[in-house]
């Protein structure tokens, strides 16, 4: 299994706005080959720290997704958020190979 975590830090007063965006996400990734799960995590001590947690069957399926046209379209929309405070946020991405369960 391959895990990808993308963490962003937004002002605390914008956390609910970002959560709403993800609650209403397009769900296109859900149909990607090898995709297993999506979760949006919120740090319980820092409400403005949010992590997108995704699990894939393997690294190649993840790479296929990030090279896809659907991925490019979704991430182009992020650049057009009407909210200026959310528009330019760059996530810190960490990738993991699951080596034991």
CATH of the domain at 60: 3.30.70.100
Model's pTM, two decimal places? Answer: 0.88
For residues 26 and 40, give the distance between their C-alpha atoms in angstroms, rounded to a whole number: 14
pLDDT at position 79 is 62
Q: CA separation (Å) from 8 to 24, 35, 72, 99?
A: 18, 22, 19, 26
pLDDT at position 25 is 87
Q: CA separation (Å) from 97 to 46, 52, 90, 100, 101?
A: 27, 16, 23, 9, 11
pLDDT at position 83 is 73
pLDDT (tens place) for every residue of the chain, 101 residues total? 999 999 999 999 999 999 998 998 889 999 999 999 999 999 999 999 999 999 999 999 999 999 999 998 887 766 666 677 777 788 999 999 999 99
For residue 26, give the DSSP letter: -
Structural domains of the chain, count: 1
Domain extent at residue 57? 2-97
């Amino acid at each position: 299994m391959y895990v990808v975590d993308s963490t962003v830090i937004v002002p605390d007063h914008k956390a609910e706005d970002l959560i709403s965006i993800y609650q209403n996400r397009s769900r296109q990734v859900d149909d990607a080959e090898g995709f297993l799960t999506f979760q949006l995590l919120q740090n319980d001590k820092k409400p403005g720290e949010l992590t997108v947690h995704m699990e894939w069957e393997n690294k190649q399926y993840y790479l296929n997704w990030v090279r896809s046209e659907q991925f490019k379209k979704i991430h182009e929309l992020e650049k057009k958020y009407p909210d200026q405070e959310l528009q330019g946020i760059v996530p810190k991405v960490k990738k993991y190979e699951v080596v034991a369960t």
